[in-house]
Amino acid sequence: MKTELRTDITVGDICKGFSYNSLEGRGLYGWSGRLVIQPEYQRNYIYANGRDDVAVVESLLKKYPIGLIYFLKVGEDKYEVLDGQQRITSFGRFVTGQLDVIDANGDPHKFDPSHHGWLLNTPLTIYICEGEGDDPEAEIKDWFRTINIAGKPLNEQELLNATYSGPFVTAAKAVFSNSSNANMQKWKRFVAGDEKRQMILAEALDWVSKGNVRQYLKDHRYNPDITELTRYFESVIAWLGGVFKDTRSEMCGLEWGRLYEQFHGNPYDPDKVWGRIEVLFADAEDKKITNARNIFEYVLGGETDPRLLKIRIFSPEIAKRAYRRQKEKAKSKGVSNCPLCAIGHAANAKRIYDFKEMEADHVTAWSKGGDTSEANCQMLCKTHNRAKGNA
C-alpha cells in the first residue's frame, strides 16, 4: 500500500461542500466534492449523541489534536474517509451551524466566523492510502484491522463487507442485516448473533460458499443479484423446518450449512427424529451425555457415531470385552478379576466375579475428561465401583 502524509489540509478545506444527512445521521461529502465522508460500508455515525460530537469540537476549540485521519484514494483526486468520519462529521456539523457547543457557563454557542474563524485554518493530520498489488481489497482490510484497534473493532464480516463493498453486499445487507425483516425471528432460532453486526449475513454466506466467503464476495461483488444466496439460505431453513418438528434453544448457532450438505439427501420421519432428540436430551439432563449440542447431528446421522455425544454409559459390548480381557489376565496371575480386590489382602483378593457382579468404570474419571471408550474401561466389583463413587 502507498501512503502519503498530508498536513496541509485544514478543517476549512474539509468543510467546503460539507453535507450531512440529518435523517440518517451521517456525513455525506466534503472537501469540495472530493471526499465521501461515510461510505456505505462504514458504521453509522455514532458520535451524534450530543456528547462525543461536542467533545470533538471542544478539542479543536482548545487547540488539542484530534488524532490521525485516514483517507482512502479511490480515484483521480477522489477519496473516502477510512478512519475519522465521526470526527469530520462532528466538526463539519459545527462549522455549518448544525451542532452547538455548550461553554463552561452552560451557554450554547453556534459557530461564529468572526469568533471561530481561525478554526477553519487548523491543519489536520491526514494519511492518504492507496491500495496496490493483486488484492488491494485485502490490503484495505488489513488497514482497517490496524486502524480500528483504537475504536470498536470491526468483526470479520464487517471487515469483509468493507473490503468487498458494492451492489452485492448492499443487496445482501438489505435482507440479512435488516431487523425488520419478517423472517428474522425464525432465522435466529437457528443462527446465532446480531444481524446488525452482520452475523446472520456471515452465516448465510458461509453456507452458500461452503466456507469460502471471501472468494464468494470477490466473485459476486458487482452483481446486485443475491438470488443464489437467499435461495440457498432459505433451503437450509426450510429443510430444518421439515426434519425437526419443533425447535430447542440448543439448535441456535449449530453448523447447519455443513449438516444440510451432509444430510439433506436422506429421508427422515420427523416424529421419530424429534422423539429421539427428546430422549437424548433427557439423558443429557441425567448427565449421561456431555456434548448435548451434538444430539441433532447424532440423530441426523442415524445414531451411528457415539463419539459425538461423549456418552457416559459404557455399552454392554464394551463392558463384556473388558470383562473377558480382565478375567483371562486375572486367572493367569491367580488374582481377582476386580483389580481393586486383587491388590487387597481380604478374602476377595483371588475371587473371580461373574459379569453380572461387576460394573464398568472409567479408568480416567469421567469428571476429569475421561471418555467412554474401550481403552478407558475397566470392570470393578460392584462394591469397589460404588466405593469409588461418581467418577
Which chain residues interact with Zn ion by CB under 5 A?
Answer: 338, 340-341, 381, 384
Among residues 279 and 387, whose Cβ is nearest to Zn ion? 387
Least distance from C-beta 349 to Zn ion, angstroms? Answer: 9
Q: How far apart are the C-alpha atoms of 344 and 374, rounded to whole Å?
A: 25
Strands (E), the chain: 2-6, 19-21, 26-30, 35-36, 69-75, 78-83, 101-102, 108-109, 126-130, 358-362, 377-381
Among residues 95 and 338, whose Cβ is nearest to Zn ion? 338
Among residues 82 and 342, whose Cβ is nearest to Zn ion? 342
Least distance from C-beta 326 to Zn ion, angstroms? Answer: 11
Least distance from C-beta 345 to Zn ion, angstroms? Answer: 13
Among residues 88 and 358, whose Cβ is nearest to Zn ion? 358
Cα-based angle 298, 303, 306 (whole degrees, multiple of 5): 75
DSSP assignments along 342-357, one per residue: HTS-SGGGG----GGG
Among residues 251 and 381, whose Cβ is nearest to Zn ion? 381
Least distance from C-beta 317 to Zn ion, angstroms? Answer: 22
Among residues 9 and 340, whose Cβ is nearest to Zn ion? 340
Q: Tell me the Ramachandran region of residue 172: left when phi exceeds 0, alpha when psi lies from -120 to 50, beta otherwise.
A: alpha
Taking CA atoms, 356 is separated from 194, 343, 353, 376, 384, in Å, by 54, 21, 8, 20, 14
Least distance from C-beta 370 to Zn ion, angstroms? Answer: 19
Q: How far apart are the C-alpha atoms of 110 and 35, rounded to whole Å?
A: 25
Least distance from C-beta 263 to Zn ion, angstroms? Answer: 45
